Amino acid sequence: MEGAAAAEAKIIDGTAIAKSIRSDIAQAITALRKSNPTFYPPRLVILQLGSNAASATYIRMKLKAAEESGMTVEHIQIPSDAEAGPSSHSGAGVAKILDVIQKANADEKVSGILVQLPLEGASTVEEKKVVDSVAVEKDVDGFHPENIGLLNSRIAEPYFTPCTPAGVIRLIESTGFNLQGSNVVVLGRSDIVGTPTCALLRKKDATVTQCHRHTQNLQEIISRADVLVAAIGSAGFVKGEWLKKGAIVIDVGTNYIADPSKKSGSRLVGDVDFASASQVASHITPVPGGVGPMTVAMLMSNTFDAAKRAWQAGRDRRVTPLPLTLKEKVPSDIEIATSQTPKPVWDIAKEMGLQADEVESYGKYKAKVELSVLQRLSNRQDGKYIVVAGITPTPLGEGKSTTTIGLAQALGAHLHKVAIACVRQPSQGPTFGVKGGAAGGGYSQVIPMTEFNLHLTGDIHAVTAANNLLAAAIDARMFHEATQKDKALFDRLCPAKKGVRAFAKPMLARLKKLGINKTNPNDLTEEEQSRFARLDIDPATLTWNRVLDTNDRYLRSITVGQAPTEKGLTRQTAFDIAVASEVMAVLALSKDIADMRERLGRMVVATSKAGDPVTAEDIGCAGAMAVLMKDAIKPTLMQTLEGTPVFVHAGPFANIAHGNSSIIADRIALKLAGIEPGDEESRNGYVITEAGFGADIGMEKFCNIKTRVSGLKPNAVVLVATIRALKMHGGGPAVTPGKPLDAVYTEESLDLLEKGCANLGKHIENAKKFGLKVIVAVNRFSNDTDAEMALVQKYALSVGADYAVPANHWAEGGAGALEVAKAVVEACETPSTFDFLYDVNLPLVEKMNIIAKEMYGADGVELSPEAQAEVDRYEAQGYGSLPICMAKTALSLSDDPSKKGVPTGFTIKIRNVRLSAGASFVYPLAGDMSTMPGLTTRPGFYDIDLNPETGDIEGLF
């Protein structure tokens, strides 16, 4: 640093001011991270082309400053073309820099990108191309054309101010001088310092004169300046006698002059003759120690601002709704769906706060979401959790999926809350059979509905493949055990490879289960080899069926092994529909990949002749099944007609399995909708998840099975009711798909409706037994009258519902579910008192009795001898503490679909009991429940076709 001034000029100590700035930034980062754990330290990427010595010095300064500021820095040095040698093509270094910048632009963890200039060996055109390629929101140097343009605008502010000009302003302001109306001369016209400094000074309302070495009457102009900023690049160019008495001098110059007294032979001086200027000026910056440290400090400030801006943008979660064009006569579902142009799925992801590396696109409108988001948001509080259930439905359905989507649209697009719907992936069985698709309906749908209702991202195919791999492995193992002796069987299971025998990973698990503490196949005794190699499955106990995602009644009972190659080892088995597979239930109940892998391994497929459970791990293919499921475990992101987010994941049937979408989808949604510690409660969002069929089935399983596994507690339940269904429960004639409705359903009938309301009352009572807030949504159809709607609402409130409101989202979209949405918001303002219906440690039959009595109103359960034998076996094998997953008809509270309303004086007849050890439940089969639906005489596939001219799908509903 140059010697102290002999006269009155005060030194503006840039080093001290910069140190203070860095210290303030470090403290601010610490404080922000303490109050907001999801705010990570700002990360700066510095890119250098070549090994310029001066650049290396500047980079070391920046690395040290970043460390002192509490930031992380990555310095990426790329060899110049000259350094890379003759094998490198011209421009390779610049191309590599551009590639690194592109990746850093997309990396959400990178706050700022700095290109250290000059780029060694690059032309000015190439330098500009590189600088311009930095994303404007990460351009912490402030050199991007958009930043420069905004800097010169009177009505806008740049994302970032160039660091040296920003440092100049801070140094002037540190003197206490008021720039407004002052006369400032900027000596220099570079794009990096001179010109942007002028723009900043104008924004401070200073009168600015920009000069350069060729400006006429330069000395005279400088003599009138209250403030001089010298950035001309000429050592000692400005003399003290040129200055106005008391002027402030900011010297930006960095010039090396010969100095034999220095070890290096040179020293650094500015553009102003310090010795003479300090005799005239009131304040002056030294060189070094003035503007230089401030440039680096302002770079740190810009990087911190970039990190805060990106973090805040991730928290904003502002959904841009898609407008609906409502028609008085509501068109078909597919017409409505195809008339709306969805937002690109990445737009939905960004609006939710997902990062680029957490989203895997499957085309334009759907994407898989990585489970890593759960770790990133682990400190975030969960949003509000709403389950949508319904009364006992008619075979036509009462619009529960439609209500789920309509409610999400109302909360997200109309009340501007974060609202995420979580729904199951529909099976192609119902889609091509009777019920049709499950995307919702009318103006409350998931889009694109054709993709939603068909293959989507292939999850059901993955479930099918994994299930059938295990089925094939079981039959193959039984065949090989039946046709080989112990030694041959063991030798084929553990063959020598290059003279070495080893156990595969699942084999080690089986050895541990058997209590054999050996890891070398050669060490096993003959008795141990036999125990290891022979699963000795009792064919009569086999419960594992093959699956297919098609309604196919002729696969309900089949015979396998009829080819001559199977040597007469035939057996009777069956196919289930894919969504009834335990693999699907495992997918829905897994909490992460490790949990899914463990659950797949412990699935019980049969019992050995010695009475021991035989698992998929024993068979040896659980790991391969997990590989087939590795992508299926990620939820699929889609959107509603109004552009609000939807997670589609898993599709277990509710009348066979537990009938709820995945825990993983709910967990991710709850974190994305949730708030940071200390945030205002008004920022909290809502997750709306659907439970299949009536509340006696889907909601009961949601509460007793899904929430036990997830640990998540719902805030409220929305019970969907319709006038049509309640009239049927009041004694109305049968409602049959494909047949016209009886006149009683299209005309006002208050007496019939009032009788049927008892079914609604029973479901309200059931929900209250779990301690849930209950919002009854009366889903209005076009023939429903005001008197009928009022009757249902009044009745619901009289029997304990917390809210009872009309809903018309089918015809009006989210706007038609606003009353439901407002009731949900109000209900969630106070906590629920959620609890389970039974203690899992009770005996299996006692748990069945509790469900039958409390949920269905039955006198209890009655087990067939076969079912009782299965219960005894499962309890003896250690599975007695699992929850119960009742498989019964959805069309009645009883096990007889013809009994409507609120039946009494009946027992639930259990004809069979199956074990889902991987999914962690036991499921009794009540009544005539089938795990493979059949096609009717007139299935829905008659109406589905592909338009040969446009390629559009027609007839899907």
Q: What is the structure's pLDDT at 5?
A: 42
Per this entry, what is the length of the chain?
A: 957
Write out pLDDT tens, residues 261-300: 888 788 889 999 999 999 999 999 999 999 999 999 999 9
8-state DSSP, 704 = I
| CB atoms near residue 186 (< 10 Å) | 30
Write down the catalytic residue from 13, 48, 81, 116: 116
Q: Which two tokens stand for residue 31?
A: 């404080």
- Other C-beta atoms within 10 Å of 563: how many? 8
pLDDT in tens, 908-939: 999 999 999 999 999 999 987 777 777 776 66
Residue matched to tokens 């010109």: 195
- Mean pLDDT, residues 580-602: 96
Residue 672 buriedness (CB in 10 A; 0-12 / 13-18 / 19+): buried
- C-beta separation of 333 from 445 below 8 A: yes
Mean pLDDT of 98-121: 91
pLDDT for position 939: 64
pLDDT digits (tens, 9 = 90+) for 295-316: 999 999 999 999 999 888 877 7
676 pLDDT higher than 80: yes
Mean predicted confidence (pLDDT) in 541-559: 90
Contact 572, 540 (CB under 8 A): no
- Over the stretch 19-76, which tens digit does the pLDDT of each residue have? 999 999 999 999 998 888 778 889 999 999 998 888 888 899 899 999 999 999 999 9
Neighbours of 344 (CB within 10 A): 14
Please, what is the angle between helix 486-493 and helix 526-533, to 10°? 70
Tokens of 928: 């005539």
- Mean of the pLDDT values across residues 539-546? 94
| Cα 820 from Cα 804, distance rounded (Å) | 8
pLDDT at 429: 66
Beta-bridge partner residues of 272: 238
Residue 725 CB neighbours (<10 A): 28
Map residue 736 onto helix, strand or coil. Answer: coil
DSSP H helical ranges for 804-851? 809-812, 818-827, 844-851
Q: Give the DSSP letter string of 398-409.
A: -SHHHHHHHHHH
H helix and E strand count, the chain: 35, 36
CA of residue 605 relative to chain centroid, distance? 33
Spatial distance between the Cα atoms of 788 and 751, rounded to a whole number of angstroms:
10
Alpha-carbon gap, residue 621 to 549, rounded angstroms: 22
**Are 457 and 368 in contact, with CB atoms under 8 Å apart?**
yes
Q: What is residue 240's three-state secondary structure?
A: helix
- The whole-angstrom separation of Cα 651 and Cα 456 is 12
Give 434's pLDDT tier (boundaries 50, 70, 90). Answer: low
Catalytic residue among 62, 244, 384, 671: 62
Residue among 462, 697, 703, 672 nearest 586 (CA): 462
Cβ distance 566 to 480 under 8 Å?
A: no
- Residue 153: CA count within 13 A, CB half-sphere: 12
Query: For residues 872 and 826, what is the distance between their CA atoms, to the nearest angstrom?
Result: 47
In the prediction, which pLDDT does 836 show?
A: 97
- Closest alpha carbon to 92 in 82, 101, 106, 102: 82
Q: What are phi and psi of 691, to 5 degrees?
A: -110, 135
- The pLDDT of residue 174 is above 60: yes
Query: 1 pLDDT band (50/70/90 cuts)?
Result: very low
Of 147-161, 273-287, 943-957, give the lowest mean pLDDT range.
943-957
Q: How far apart are CA 229 and CA 252, in angstroms?
A: 7
- Whether the Cβ atoms of residue 197 and residue 186 lie closer than 8 Å to each other: yes
Indicate if the pLDDT at residue 529 is higher than 90: yes
Q: Is the pLDDT of residue 366 over 50?
A: yes
The C-alpha atoms of residue 616 and residue 473 are separated, in whole angstroms, by 9
Annotated active-site residue 62? The verdict is yes
**What pTM value is reported for the model?**
0.85
Q: State pLDDT tens for residues 67-80.
A: 999 999 999 999 98
What does the pLDDT read at residue 879? 96
Kindly report the backbone phi and psi dihedral angles of residue 862, in degrees, each rounded to the nearest multiple of 5, phi listed first: -130, 115
Residue from 13, 81, 139, 141 carrying the catalytic annotation:
141
Nearest one of 936, 942, 943, 938 to 551, comparing CA atoms = 936
Residue 463 to residues 328, 606, 735, Cα–Cα distance (Å): 42, 20, 34
The answer, yes or no, to whether residue 738 has pLDDT greater than 90, is no
How many angstroms separate the Cα of 474 from the Cα of each of 260, 535, 677?
89, 10, 51
Please state, rounded to an integer, the average pLDDT across all residues of the chain. Answer: 92
Would you state the pLDDT for residue 57?
Answer: 83
CB of 849 within 8 A of CB of 910? no
938 DSSP 8-state letter? S
Higher pLDDT, 397 or 607: 607
Please say whether the beta carbons of 47 and 101 come within 8 A.
yes
More confident residue, 454 or 340: 340
- Residue 166's closest CA among 289, 299, 10, 269? 299
User: pLDDT per residue over 317-357, tens digit each?
Assistant: 889 999 999 999 999 888 999 999 999 999 999 999 898 88
428 pLDDT band (50/70/90 cuts)? confident
pLDDT exceeds 70 at position 2:
no
Q: Exposed (0-12), middle (13-18) or buried (19+): which is 726, by Cβ within 10 Å?
A: buried
* Environment class of 930 (CB within 10 Å of its CB; exposed 0-12, middle 13-18, buried 19+): middle
pLDDT at 39: 83
- C-alpha distances in angstroms, 648 versus 322, 366, 550, 637, 665? 20, 10, 20, 6, 8
Q: Which domains does the chain have, with CATH numbers?
A: 1-155+295-315 (3.40.50.10860), 177-285 (3.40.50.720), 333-456+635-828 (3.40.50.300), 460-629 (3.30.1510.10), 844-926 (3.10.410.10)
Nearest to 782 by CA among 328, 303, 377: 328
How large is the angle between the packed helices 582-589 and 459-483, nearest 10 degrees?
130
Residue 362's SS3 state is coil
Whether pLDDT at 370 is above 60 = yes
- Alpha-carbon span 226 to 183, nearest angstrom: 5
Confidence (pLDDT) at 154: 80
Q: Which residue has tokens 């080899």?
A: 529
- Position 533 pLDDT exceeds 90: yes
| Contact by Cβ (8 Å): 38, 376 | yes
Does pLDDT of 957 surpass 80?
no
pLDDT at position 671 over 50: yes
Tell me which of 40 and 846 has the higher pLDDT.
846
Confidence tier at 6 by pLDDT (50, 70, 90): very low
Q: Is the dihedral of CA 262, 266, 268, 271 positive or negative?
A: positive
For residue 85, name the pLDDT band (cuts at 50, 70, 90).
low
- Measuring CA to CA, which residue among 85, 922, 210 is closest to residue 585? 922
141 is known as an active-site residue: yes
Mean predicted confidence (pLDDT) in 685-689: 97
Question: What are the backbone angles phi and psi of residue 912, rounded to the nearest 5°?
Answer: -155, 155
Query: Which letter, b or e, does each residue of 524-558 get, where b requires 16 or more Cβ atoms within 10 Å of its Cβ?
Result: beeebbbbbbbbbbeeebbbbbbbbbbbeeebeee
pLDDT over 70 percentage in the chain: 96
Q: Are 93 and 76 in contact (CB under 8 A)?
A: no
Does a cis peptide bond (omega within 30 degrees of 0) precede residue 118?
yes
Tell me what pLDDT residue 155 has. 82
